[in-house]
Amino acid sequence: MSSLLKQFSVREGPCESRAIHSGCRTTSLAPPPSRCSAARSAVAGLSPPLPVLSGVYQAYGARRALAAASIGGRKSTHPGKAILAGGIAGGIEICITFPTEYVKTQLQLDERANPPRYRGIGDCVKLTVQDHGLRGLYRGLSSLLYGSIPKSAVRFGTFEVLSNPMRDATGRLDNTRSLLCGLGAGIAEAIVVVCPMETLKVKLIHDQCSLRPRYRGFFHGVSEIIKEQGVRGTYQGLTATVLKQGSNQAIRFYVMNSLRNWYKGDDPRRDMHPVVTAMFGATAGAASVFSNTPLDVVKTRMQGLEAHRYKSTLDCAFQILKHEGPQAFYKGTVPRLGRVCLDVAIVFVIYEEVVKLLDDVWKTQ
C-alpha cells in the first residue's frame, strides 16, 4: 500500500515512454514550446536542421530589407533610367539658362588688358543685343545643346552606377560616399563630354567678339578648329576642366544628398515636393559656384582663342594673378551664380520627375 500511496508525476509510467511516439504532452516540467516543437520535429524528420533554418531566416530578413528599401527610402535607380532622365533634364535646362552662360563667358573673356569692353552684366547684354539682336545671346547654344544632353546623361548614369552598391538597406546614401560618387561622376563627364564641348563653346563665343568673325556656325566652327588644331584642339584645358567638373559635382551631390537626408530624417518614405527639390538644388549650385569659380575662370581662358599664350593650367593661373590681380579669379561670378543655381535646380527637379515617370512605364528590378 505504501507503494500505491507514493507521490508520482504524470511523466512516470506509460506516458513517459510514449510521450515522443504518441505526441503526449506533459503537464509538469514541460520544456518551452519552441524547444518541444523543435525536438518533436527533428525526431519525426519533419524539419531541416537548425543551421539550415538559420540560413532561411537570414535570407528572409534580407528580402524584407530589400522590400523596405523599395517601398520606403530612395530606391536604387537603374543606370539606363538615369542616363535617359539625365539627358532629357540637361537638354531642357540649357535651353532655359544659356543667355546667362553667354554673359558669364563674355565677361570672363573680357580681359582687363584690352581694355575691358563691358562695364557689367547689363552693359554686356545691351551691347550684344545692339550688335547681334536677341539671337546674339544664344550664339554658341548648339555646341552646348549637343553636349548638354550627353553630359547630364553621363553624369547621372555614372553617379547611379557608383552609388547603388553603396546604399544601405533603406536606400539611404551616406554623405561622404555621395561626395566620392559625385567626384567620380564629374571626372567622367569632364573627360567624355565637357572638355570638348566647352572648348567649342568658348571658341565660338570668343570668335563673335572679334571684329571679323571666322566661324559661320557650329559645324563650320568645329570643322575649322579640327582642321587647324586636330582633335587635340577640342581638349584644351583638360586639367582645369577635370578639376572644375570633379569638384563641381562632388560639392553638388554632397550638398543635395545631405539636405535630402536631413529633410527625410528617420522617415525614408517621406516624399520630396518638386519645390523642395528645386530649393535644395539651388543651394547645392550656389555652394559649387563660390567654391570653384577660380577654376572656371582658368578653364575658360585655357579654352579661348588666345589659349596659346599660356604654357599650362598653372601658367595661366599665374599670369592672371600677376597681370590682373586676385579679383580676376571671380570674374563672372554673379551671372554664373544665377545660371548655376537655376541650372542645378531645374536639372534635379526634371531628373527626379522623369525617373518617377519611367518607373511607371519601365519595370526594372
User: Contact, 245 vs 186, CB < 8 A?
Assistant: yes
What pLDDT shows up at residue 161? 95
What pLDDT shows up at residue 157? 96
What pLDDT shows up at residue 8? 44
| Domain 76-361: homologous superfamily in CATH | Mitochondrial carrier domain (1.50.40.10)
How far separated are the first and last CA of the chain, in Å rounded? 77
Q: In whole angstroms, what is the distance from residue 312 CA to residue 172 CA?
A: 41
What would the pLDDT profile of 11-38 be if each residue is shown by its tens digit?
Answer: 444 444 444 444 444 444 444 554 444 4
What pLDDT shows up at residue 53? 46
What pLDDT shows up at residue 248? 92
- Residue ranges of the chain with pLDDT lower than 50? 1-6, 8-31, 34-48, 50, 52-53, 56-57, 60-73, 113
The pTM (predicted TM-score) of the whole model is 0.66
With a CB cutoff of 8 Å and minimum separation 6, the contacts of 76 are 69, 160, 163, 164, 167, 171
What would the pLDDT profile of 130-186 be if each residue is shown by its tens digit?
Answer: 988 888 888 878 767 888 899 999 999 999 999 999 998 888 899 999 999 999 999
H helices present in the chain, as ranges = 14-22, 33-44, 50-71, 79-109, 121-132, 141-163, 175-189, 195-209, 218-229, 238-264, 274-303, 313-324, 333-361
What pLDDT shows up at residue 33? 52
What pLDDT shows up at residue 299? 81
Domain boundaries of the chain, sorted by first residue: 76-361
**Residue 183: Cβ-neighbour burial (10 angstroms; 0-12, 13-18, 19+):** buried
